[in-house]
Amino acid sequence: MIVGVVGATGMVGGELLSQIERRRFPFSRLLLFSASRGHAPRIVRDRRSPVLPLSSHSRLLNDCGLVFFAGSDGVSRRLAKRLARRGAWVIDDSSAFRLDPEVPLIIPEVNAGALRADRRLVAGPNCTMSGLAVALSPLHRLWKIRELRVASYQSVSGAGRGALEEFAGQAAVFAQALAKGENPSFPKPRFLPAPIAGNVIPQVGSFDLLGRSDEETKVAAELAKVLGAPRIKTSVTAVRVPTIRGHAIACWARFHGKADEAVARRRLRRAPGMKLHEGSLYPTPLAAAGSGPVHVGRLRRGVDGRELCLWIVSDNLLKGAALNAVQIAEEIRRRGWLNEP
Protein backbone atom coordinates (compact mmCIF):
# COMPACT_ATOMS: atom_id res chain seq x y z
CA MET A 1 0.00 0.00 0.00
CA ILE A 2 1.28 3.42 -0.98
CA VAL A 3 0.72 6.02 1.75
CA GLY A 4 0.85 9.76 1.09
CA VAL A 5 1.41 12.58 3.58
CA VAL A 6 0.52 16.10 2.43
CA GLY A 7 2.13 18.74 4.62
CA ALA A 8 4.90 16.39 5.71
CA THR A 9 7.27 19.19 6.78
CA GLY A 10 4.89 20.98 9.14
CA MET A 11 4.59 20.38 12.87
CA VAL A 12 1.68 17.95 12.54
CA GLY A 13 3.23 16.32 9.46
CA GLY A 14 6.46 15.64 11.32
CA GLU A 15 4.53 14.03 14.17
CA LEU A 16 2.57 11.95 11.67
CA LEU A 17 5.79 10.48 10.32
CA SER A 18 6.97 9.74 13.85
CA GLN A 19 3.69 7.97 14.66
CA ILE A 20 3.78 5.95 11.43
CA GLU A 21 7.24 4.76 12.43
CA ARG A 22 6.55 4.25 16.13
CA ARG A 23 3.30 2.35 15.62
CA ARG A 24 4.69 0.33 12.69
CA PHE A 25 1.89 1.35 10.36
CA PRO A 26 2.44 -0.66 7.16
CA PHE A 27 3.27 0.81 3.77
CA SER A 28 5.02 -0.36 0.65
CA ARG A 29 6.01 3.19 -0.25
CA LEU A 30 5.70 6.55 1.48
CA LEU A 31 5.09 9.65 -0.65
CA LEU A 32 5.76 12.94 1.13
CA PHE A 33 4.55 16.33 -0.10
CA SER A 34 5.14 19.93 0.96
CA ALA A 35 3.82 23.27 -0.24
CA SER A 36 7.41 24.52 -0.57
CA ARG A 37 10.59 23.25 -2.17
CA GLY A 38 14.04 22.45 -0.89
CA HIS A 39 13.28 20.10 2.00
CA ALA A 40 15.66 17.29 2.87
CA PRO A 41 14.42 13.70 2.53
CA ARG A 42 12.86 12.05 5.58
CA ILE A 43 13.87 8.66 6.95
CA VAL A 44 10.98 6.50 8.17
CA ARG A 45 11.68 2.91 9.22
CA ASP A 46 15.08 3.01 7.53
CA ARG A 47 13.52 4.07 4.22
CA ARG A 48 14.52 7.33 2.60
CA SER A 49 11.59 9.31 1.21
CA PRO A 50 12.12 12.57 -0.69
CA VAL A 51 9.83 15.51 0.06
CA LEU A 52 8.12 16.47 -3.19
CA PRO A 53 6.68 19.92 -3.98
CA LEU A 54 2.92 19.44 -4.15
CA SER A 55 2.50 21.99 -6.94
CA SER A 56 4.36 19.83 -9.46
CA HIS A 57 3.80 16.30 -8.11
CA SER A 58 0.17 16.20 -6.95
CA ARG A 59 -0.66 13.65 -9.66
CA LEU A 60 1.31 11.07 -7.65
CA LEU A 61 -1.42 11.21 -5.01
CA ASN A 62 -3.56 9.18 -7.41
CA ASP A 63 -1.29 6.19 -6.72
CA CYS A 64 -1.98 6.24 -2.97
CA GLY A 65 -4.41 3.97 -1.18
CA LEU A 66 -4.28 6.18 1.89
CA VAL A 67 -3.49 9.90 2.16
CA PHE A 68 -3.00 11.96 5.31
CA PHE A 69 -3.60 15.70 4.95
CA ALA A 70 -1.70 17.78 7.52
CA GLY A 71 -1.64 21.11 5.72
CA SER A 72 -3.95 24.04 5.10
CA ASP A 73 -7.72 24.03 4.70
CA GLY A 74 -7.31 25.25 1.13
CA VAL A 75 -5.13 22.33 0.05
CA SER A 76 -7.56 19.87 1.62
CA ARG A 77 -10.55 21.47 -0.09
CA ARG A 78 -8.79 21.36 -3.43
CA LEU A 79 -7.66 17.73 -3.35
CA ALA A 80 -9.25 15.62 -0.60
CA LYS A 81 -12.72 14.94 -2.00
CA ARG A 82 -11.36 14.18 -5.46
CA LEU A 83 -8.98 11.57 -4.07
CA ALA A 84 -11.74 10.00 -1.98
CA ARG A 85 -13.98 9.76 -5.05
CA ARG A 86 -11.16 7.93 -6.85
CA GLY A 87 -11.15 5.31 -4.08
CA ALA A 88 -8.34 6.43 -1.75
CA TRP A 89 -8.89 6.69 1.97
CA VAL A 90 -8.28 10.30 2.99
CA ILE A 91 -7.73 11.37 6.62
CA ASP A 92 -7.80 15.15 6.87
CA ASP A 93 -6.42 17.01 9.89
CA SER A 94 -7.48 20.46 8.67
CA SER A 95 -10.78 22.05 9.65
CA ALA A 96 -12.10 21.98 6.07
CA PHE A 97 -14.64 19.14 6.44
CA ARG A 98 -15.16 18.66 10.17
CA LEU A 99 -18.71 20.00 10.16
CA ASP A 100 -19.64 18.64 6.74
CA PRO A 101 -22.62 16.32 7.40
CA GLU A 102 -21.35 13.91 4.74
CA VAL A 103 -17.89 13.55 6.33
CA PRO A 104 -17.38 11.50 9.52
CA LEU A 105 -15.53 13.39 12.27
CA ILE A 106 -13.72 10.67 14.18
CA ILE A 107 -12.00 10.17 17.50
CA PRO A 108 -11.59 6.37 17.63
CA GLU A 109 -12.06 6.05 21.42
CA VAL A 110 -15.30 8.04 21.18
CA ASN A 111 -17.12 7.31 17.93
CA ALA A 112 -15.28 4.75 15.79
CA GLY A 113 -18.74 3.37 14.91
CA ALA A 114 -19.34 6.45 12.73
CA LEU A 115 -16.76 5.19 10.21
CA ARG A 116 -18.32 3.82 7.03
CA ALA A 117 -16.77 1.91 4.16
CA ASP A 118 -18.51 4.12 1.59
CA ARG A 119 -17.28 7.42 3.08
CA ARG A 120 -13.58 7.47 2.41
CA LEU A 121 -12.96 11.05 3.42
CA VAL A 122 -12.59 11.21 7.21
CA ALA A 123 -12.00 14.35 9.25
CA GLY A 124 -9.81 14.58 12.33
CA PRO A 125 -10.89 16.80 15.24
CA ASN A 126 -9.95 20.19 16.57
CA CYS A 127 -6.92 19.78 18.81
CA THR A 128 -8.69 21.21 21.87
CA MET A 129 -11.96 19.37 21.39
CA SER A 130 -10.27 15.97 21.06
CA GLY A 131 -9.10 15.89 24.68
CA LEU A 132 -12.45 17.18 25.87
CA ALA A 133 -14.36 14.49 23.97
CA VAL A 134 -12.18 11.59 25.13
CA ALA A 135 -12.57 12.67 28.76
CA LEU A 136 -16.30 13.40 28.61
CA SER A 137 -17.64 10.60 26.41
CA PRO A 138 -17.60 7.91 29.16
CA LEU A 139 -19.51 10.25 31.46
CA HIS A 140 -21.92 11.30 28.72
CA ARG A 141 -22.82 7.65 28.14
CA LEU A 142 -23.66 7.30 31.83
CA TRP A 143 -25.71 10.40 32.54
CA LYS A 144 -26.04 12.49 29.33
CA ILE A 145 -24.49 15.93 29.38
CA ARG A 146 -26.94 18.83 29.50
CA GLU A 147 -24.60 21.84 29.75
CA LEU A 148 -20.85 22.49 29.55
CA ARG A 149 -18.70 25.38 30.62
CA VAL A 150 -15.20 25.18 29.19
CA ALA A 151 -12.08 27.31 29.56
CA SER A 152 -9.13 26.22 27.43
CA TYR A 153 -5.49 27.11 28.00
CA GLN A 154 -3.82 26.51 24.66
CA SER A 155 -0.10 26.25 23.95
CA VAL A 156 1.72 28.35 21.38
CA SER A 157 2.47 25.33 19.17
CA GLY A 158 -1.23 25.27 18.33
CA ALA A 159 -0.63 28.46 16.33
CA GLY A 160 2.19 26.92 14.28
CA ARG A 161 5.96 27.02 14.00
CA GLY A 162 6.08 30.76 13.25
CA ALA A 163 4.28 31.53 16.53
CA LEU A 164 6.68 29.28 18.43
CA GLU A 165 9.70 31.04 16.97
CA GLU A 166 8.15 34.40 17.80
CA PHE A 167 7.49 33.22 21.36
CA ALA A 168 11.14 32.19 21.73
CA GLY A 169 12.29 35.66 20.69
CA GLN A 170 9.84 37.35 23.03
CA ALA A 171 10.89 35.09 25.91
CA ALA A 172 14.50 36.26 25.53
CA VAL A 173 13.39 39.90 25.62
CA PHE A 174 11.18 39.19 28.63
CA ALA A 175 14.04 37.52 30.53
CA GLN A 176 16.36 40.46 29.88
CA ALA A 177 13.75 42.95 31.05
CA LEU A 178 13.02 40.89 34.14
CA ALA A 179 16.71 40.83 35.07
CA LYS A 180 16.82 44.62 34.83
CA GLY A 181 13.55 45.15 36.69
CA GLU A 182 11.97 46.75 33.61
CA ASN A 183 8.80 46.21 31.62
CA PRO A 184 9.56 44.37 28.37
CA SER A 185 9.11 46.11 25.03
CA PHE A 186 8.25 43.72 22.20
CA PRO A 187 8.08 44.27 18.44
CA LYS A 188 4.58 44.04 17.00
CA PRO A 189 3.71 40.32 16.86
CA ARG A 190 3.07 38.69 13.48
CA PHE A 191 1.49 35.36 14.40
CA LEU A 192 -0.63 36.11 17.48
CA PRO A 193 -2.90 39.05 18.37
CA ALA A 194 -0.59 40.22 21.19
CA PRO A 195 2.78 39.31 22.71
CA ILE A 196 2.56 35.90 24.41
CA ALA A 197 5.72 35.85 26.56
CA GLY A 198 4.68 36.54 30.16
CA ASN A 199 1.12 37.00 28.95
CA VAL A 200 -2.19 35.29 28.21
CA ILE A 201 -4.42 36.12 25.23
CA PRO A 202 -8.19 35.43 25.41
CA GLN A 203 -8.42 35.09 21.64
CA VAL A 204 -7.78 32.02 19.47
CA GLY A 205 -8.89 32.87 15.94
CA SER A 206 -11.02 35.78 14.80
CA PHE A 207 -14.24 36.95 16.49
CA ASP A 208 -17.74 36.70 15.05
CA LEU A 209 -20.53 39.24 15.48
CA LEU A 210 -21.53 37.67 18.81
CA GLY A 211 -18.00 38.00 20.20
CA ARG A 212 -17.13 34.30 19.95
CA SER A 213 -13.73 33.30 18.57
CA ASP A 214 -13.30 30.71 15.82
CA GLU A 215 -11.86 28.24 18.32
CA GLU A 216 -14.76 28.63 20.72
CA THR A 217 -17.28 28.00 17.96
CA LYS A 218 -15.35 24.97 16.64
CA VAL A 219 -15.06 23.30 20.04
CA ALA A 220 -18.79 23.54 20.74
CA ALA A 221 -19.96 22.46 17.28
CA GLU A 222 -17.45 19.63 16.83
CA LEU A 223 -18.08 18.21 20.30
CA ALA A 224 -21.80 18.04 19.58
CA LYS A 225 -21.09 16.15 16.33
CA VAL A 226 -18.62 13.67 17.84
CA LEU A 227 -20.85 12.88 20.82
CA GLY A 228 -23.95 12.78 18.63
CA ALA A 229 -25.57 15.26 21.03
CA PRO A 230 -26.64 18.45 19.21
CA ARG A 231 -28.68 19.71 22.19
CA ILE A 232 -25.75 20.10 24.60
CA LYS A 233 -25.48 23.76 25.63
CA THR A 234 -21.79 24.64 25.56
CA SER A 235 -20.00 27.88 26.46
CA VAL A 236 -16.28 28.13 25.70
CA THR A 237 -13.57 30.67 26.45
CA ALA A 238 -10.37 29.87 24.53
CA VAL A 239 -7.13 31.36 25.84
CA ARG A 240 -3.60 31.23 24.39
CA VAL A 241 -1.01 30.78 27.15
CA PRO A 242 2.82 30.88 27.11
CA THR A 243 3.42 27.13 27.11
CA ILE A 244 5.11 25.29 24.26
CA ARG A 245 3.08 22.12 23.84
CA GLY A 246 -0.06 20.63 25.35
CA HIS A 247 -3.53 22.14 25.72
CA ALA A 248 -5.29 22.24 29.10
CA ILE A 249 -9.01 22.58 29.82
CA ALA A 250 -11.02 23.44 32.89
CA CYS A 251 -14.46 21.90 32.41
CA TRP A 252 -17.74 22.10 34.31
CA ALA A 253 -20.12 19.39 33.06
CA ARG A 254 -23.77 19.41 34.09
CA PHE A 255 -25.79 16.24 33.46
CA HIS A 256 -29.47 15.40 33.08
CA GLY A 257 -29.16 12.81 35.83
CA LYS A 258 -27.38 12.73 39.17
CA ALA A 259 -23.62 12.25 38.66
CA ASP A 260 -21.78 10.09 41.16
CA GLU A 261 -18.10 11.06 41.59
CA ALA A 262 -16.99 7.55 42.61
CA VAL A 263 -18.74 5.99 39.62
CA ALA A 264 -17.16 8.59 37.34
CA ARG A 265 -13.70 7.69 38.66
CA ARG A 266 -14.25 4.01 38.04
CA ARG A 267 -15.47 4.66 34.53
CA LEU A 268 -12.57 6.98 33.65
CA ARG A 269 -9.98 4.53 35.01
CA ARG A 270 -11.16 1.98 32.44
CA ALA A 271 -11.78 4.36 29.55
CA PRO A 272 -9.59 3.85 26.45
CA GLY A 273 -7.05 6.55 25.68
CA MET A 274 -7.33 7.99 29.21
CA LYS A 275 -5.08 8.42 32.23
CA LEU A 276 -6.81 9.44 35.45
CA HIS A 277 -4.73 11.30 38.06
CA GLU A 278 -6.21 10.85 41.53
CA GLY A 279 -5.90 12.39 44.96
CA SER A 280 -3.67 15.44 45.01
CA LEU A 281 -2.05 14.47 41.70
CA TYR A 282 -2.92 16.38 38.53
CA PRO A 283 -1.53 16.65 34.99
CA THR A 284 0.19 19.68 33.50
CA PRO A 285 0.99 20.49 29.86
CA LEU A 286 4.73 20.25 30.53
CA ALA A 287 4.42 16.76 32.00
CA ALA A 288 1.92 15.54 29.39
CA ALA A 289 3.83 16.79 26.32
CA GLY A 290 4.83 13.90 24.08
CA SER A 291 2.27 11.63 25.73
CA GLY A 292 -0.51 9.92 23.78
CA PRO A 293 -3.29 9.58 26.38
CA VAL A 294 -5.67 12.27 27.50
CA HIS A 295 -4.93 13.12 31.13
CA VAL A 296 -7.67 13.98 33.63
CA GLY A 297 -7.21 15.24 37.18
CA ARG A 298 -8.99 17.29 39.85
CA LEU A 299 -12.23 15.38 39.25
CA ARG A 300 -14.69 16.66 41.83
CA ARG A 301 -18.31 17.49 42.55
CA GLY A 302 -19.61 20.81 41.30
CA VAL A 303 -22.27 23.07 42.78
CA ASP A 304 -24.69 20.15 43.21
CA GLY A 305 -25.08 16.45 42.47
CA ARG A 306 -25.62 16.98 38.76
CA GLU A 307 -22.32 18.73 38.08
CA LEU A 308 -18.75 17.44 37.88
CA CYS A 309 -15.58 19.51 37.45
CA LEU A 310 -12.56 18.19 35.53
CA TRP A 311 -9.08 19.35 34.59
CA ILE A 312 -8.04 17.88 31.21
CA VAL A 313 -4.64 17.95 29.50
CA SER A 314 -3.62 16.46 26.15
CA ASP A 315 -0.82 16.89 23.64
CA ASN A 316 -2.30 19.04 20.88
CA LEU A 317 0.09 17.64 18.25
CA LEU A 318 -0.54 13.98 19.16
CA LYS A 319 -4.06 13.13 20.32
CA GLY A 320 -5.12 16.50 18.98
CA ALA A 321 -3.84 15.71 15.48
CA ALA A 322 -1.17 13.20 14.35
CA LEU A 323 -1.77 10.30 16.73
CA ASN A 324 -5.53 10.49 16.24
CA ALA A 325 -5.07 10.40 12.45
CA VAL A 326 -2.93 7.25 12.59
CA GLN A 327 -5.40 5.65 15.00
CA ILE A 328 -8.17 6.30 12.45
CA ALA A 329 -6.05 4.61 9.77
CA GLU A 330 -5.43 1.66 12.09
CA GLU A 331 -9.16 1.28 12.68
CA ILE A 332 -9.89 1.38 8.94
CA ARG A 333 -7.19 -1.25 8.38
CA ARG A 334 -8.53 -3.42 11.23
CA ARG A 335 -11.89 -3.52 9.45
CA GLY A 336 -10.22 -4.74 6.25
CA TRP A 337 -11.22 -1.70 4.19
CA LEU A 338 -7.85 -0.38 3.06
CA ASN A 339 -7.32 -2.86 0.26
CA GLU A 340 -10.81 -2.58 -1.17
CA PRO A 341 -11.12 -0.90 -4.60
Q: Give the dihedral sign, CA 104/93/314/240.
A: negative
Q: Is 251 a catalytic residue?
A: no
Beta strands across the sheet bearing 89-92: 51-53, 29-34, 2-6, 66-69, 89-92, 121-123
Distance (Å) of CA 25 to CA 3, 87, 324: 10, 20, 13
Q: What is the 3-state secondary structure (H, E, C) of the chain?
A: CEEEEECCCCHHHHHHHHHHHHCCCCCCEEEEEECCCCCCCEEECCEEECEEEHHHHHHHHHHCCEEEECCCHHHHHHHHHHHHHCCCEEEECCCCCCCCCCCCECCHHHHHHHCCCCCCEEECCCHHHHHHHHHHHHHHHHHCEEEEEEEEEECHHHHCHHHHHHHHHHHHHHHHHHHHCCCCCCCCCCCCCCCCCCCCECCCCCECCCCCEHHHHHHHHHHHHHHCCCCCEEEEEEEECCCCCCEEEEEEEEECCCCCHHHHHHHHHHCCCEEECCCCCCCCHHHHCCCCCEEEEEEEECCCCCEEEEEEEECCCHHHHHHHHHHHHHHHHHCCCCCCC
Distance (Å) of CA 288 to CA 132, 215, 237: 15, 22, 22
Q: Which of 39, 57, 64, 127 is catalytic?
A: 127
CA distance 256 to 268: 19
Q: Which of 64, 140, 247, 295 is catalytic?
A: 247
Rg (CA), the chain: 21
Q: Is 247 a catalytic residue?
A: yes
Which residues carry out catalysis? 127, 247
